[in-house]
Amino acid sequence: MTEPTVVPTAAPTAAPTGHLFGVGVGPGDPELLTFKARRVIGACDVVAHFAARNRPGNAWAIVEPLIEPHQRVLRLEYPVTTDAVERAGYEQAIAAFYDHAAEQVASELDTGCDVAVVCEGDPFFYGSYMYLHHRLAHRYPSTVVPGVTSVSAAAAAAGQPLVSLQESLTILPGVLAPDVLKEALAGVDAAVVMKVGRHLADVREALASAGLADQAWYVERASGAGERILPLADTDGVDAPYFSLVLVPGAGLAHRYPDRR
């Protein structure tokens, strides 16, 4: 005589949530996408991207041709233009926007959909994805796909080796106060000033007082449409866009190259 089979009472099982992906799509040239980014974007139910009002969004321009008819697109539109994002104190002011964006993504994850949040450059290097990661990575499984940064693309475009062997590299946002910039750039081996925009004159002055202005390069929209490369010394009167940067290559291997201006 056998024991009766005990059928355990089914516990109420939560439906599995979706997986959150932060996907770096590179600096602008669609060919600088990685195979992994392409695969992950193609495998997700929803593709989300940030964009400024009335602009397509840099990441979106790279990704749009890859979207298949069965995929849904979630456009997360900033309440103002990108240029305003850098203003001091603005970060707090748009916290509510990021909160709302995170909840939109969470709603998709809650129904079991995988979401790829695409992001220009590399997600964890000044990327907008970080604001969602901060709000969601403790609630959902997440994976970040690293991407080629605008720093690497700018050095390649300028043909300037950036940092070698025993040199250090200092990366700063252009929004820093002029005296902070000056202090931070004094005595660097190699440096990059990101998101130069309307701070170009301050950056030029800070590098001049560090004795580095003559070896610095200005790069606008590295690898993308409208890429422009100039010696920093020739940028008087240039109206720098938000996505521009200044490179100070390390001295070690930085000389003897043909001028690409």
State which of residues 36, 198, 201, 241 lies at the interface with its own copies (CB under 8 A): 36
State which of residues 58, 82, 215, 223 lies at the interface with its own copies (CB under 8 A): 223
State which of residues 38, 45, 227, 238 lies at the interface with its own copies (CB under 8 A): 38
Angle at 96 between CA 112 and CA 193, to 5 degrees: 100
Interhelix angle 200-209/178-185, rounded to 10 degrees, is 40
CB 187 within 8 A of CB 159: no
Residue 242 binds to its own copies (criterion: CB under 8 A): no
Spatial distance between the Cα atoms of 228 and 153, rounded to a whole number of angstroms: 12
Residue 123 binds to its own copies (criterion: CB under 8 A): yes
Q: How far is the CB of 220 from its own copies (least distance, A)?
A: 16
Count of residues that interact with its own copies, criterion CB under 8 A: 63
Number of alpha carbons in the 13 Å side-chain half-sphere of residue 254: 21
From residue 155 to residue 174, what is the string marking binding to its own copies with x (rule CB under 8 A)? xx--xxxxxxxxxxxxxxx-
Residue 225 binds to its own copies (criterion: CB under 8 A): no
Phi and psi at residue 96, in whole multiples of 5°?
Answer: -65, -35
Residue 70 binds to its own copies (criterion: CB under 8 A): no
Q: How far is the CB of 4 from its own copies (least distance, A)?
A: 41
Amino acid at position 61, single letter: A
Please state, as a whole number, how many other Cβ atoms lie within 10 Å of the Cβ of residue 55: 13
Amino acid at position 256, single letter: R
Residue 64 binds to its own copies (criterion: CB under 8 A): no
Spatial distance between the Cα atoms of 178 and 241, rounded to a whole number of angstroms: 18
Spatial distance between the Cα atoms of 252 and 158, rounded to a whole number of angstroms: 16
Residue 126 binds to its own copies (criterion: CB under 8 A): yes
- Of 14 and 165, nearer to its own copies (C-beta) is 165
- Nearest CA to 124 among 139, 112, 137? 137
From residue 81 to residue 110, what is the string marking binding to its own copies with x (rule CB under 8 A)? -----x-x--x-------------------
Residue 144 binds to its own copies (criterion: CB under 8 A): yes
From residue 172 to residue 191, what is the string marking binding to its own copies with x (rule CB under 8 A)? xx-xx-------x-------
Residue 257 binds to its own copies (criterion: CB under 8 A): yes
DSSP 3-state of 76? strand
Residue 118 binds to its own copies (criterion: CB under 8 A): no
CB 41 within 8 A of CB 22: no
CB 43 within 8 A of CB 37: no
Q: Footprint of its own copies on this chain (CB under 8 A)? A: 24, 26-27, 29-36, 38-39, 86, 88, 91, 122-126, 130-131, 133-134, 137-138, 142-149, 151-153, 155-156, 159-173, 175-176, 184, 223, 253, 256-258
